[in-house]
Amino acid sequence: MIFGKKAVIALTGVSTRQVEHWATTGVVRPSIPAAGKGTRRGYSFKDLVALRVAKRLKDEGISLQKIRKTLFYLRKNFPEKKEPLAELRFLTDGKDLFVLTADPDVALDALKRQFIFSLALGEIIEGLQGELRKLATPKEERLMVAGRSFTVVLTPDLEDGGFTVQCQEEPAAISHGETEQEALDNIIDALELCLEHEQELQAAKAGEAQAV
């Protein structure tokens, strides 16, 4: 699944400025880069994990410069790791940044210095998957329009952000909104138009029957 920038921000907690800056500086590049003016980047689930890890490291006090230096080293010396932030385990004490590798001495040297914080990649992935399931779950709402009750389904738009909403009883009534409330307001307008159109058709049929 590929995610747009709005969904990335909602899922990872990374700011718009950070997403743009980290893509430009190579901290976390999107799997699908923009192909030119008018095109958009696309982020994979692994990209979301990498963004979460980068944000967590920043929250623990690691500067962006240190993160970039670490990534430069890892990408040069571990080319099989396409996205180090999403595939390796990091250790930090808030000042220095260490990586657990297949070499036990490297981890041992890091741990000897002092008690350090361990960033559990599994917890981040599990939490992100939970947020994704919650964000992507459709939601039903009941609306009263022109004295009639309708069921509408709100579906989060993970690509562009916002919500798509469609009426079950009137499938032609479909709309979109940046927020749930905006989507509901827009579907009410769409339903009113559908009902007006139905009334016009009924009136035309009634007129044709009387003419016959």
Q: Please state the rounded mean pLDDT for residues 52-76.
A: 89
Cα–Cα distance between 43 and 12 in angstroms, integer?
12
* Domains of the chain from N-terminus onward: 5-132 (1.10.1660), 138-211 (no CATH)
Helices (H), the chain: 5-12, 16-25, 45-59, 64-77, 84-87, 104-113, 121-136, 180-211
Q: How confident is the model at residue 164 (pLDDT cuts 50, 70, 90)?
A: very high
pLDDT at position 81 is 84
pTM, 2 dp: 0.62
Mean pLDDT of the chain: 83
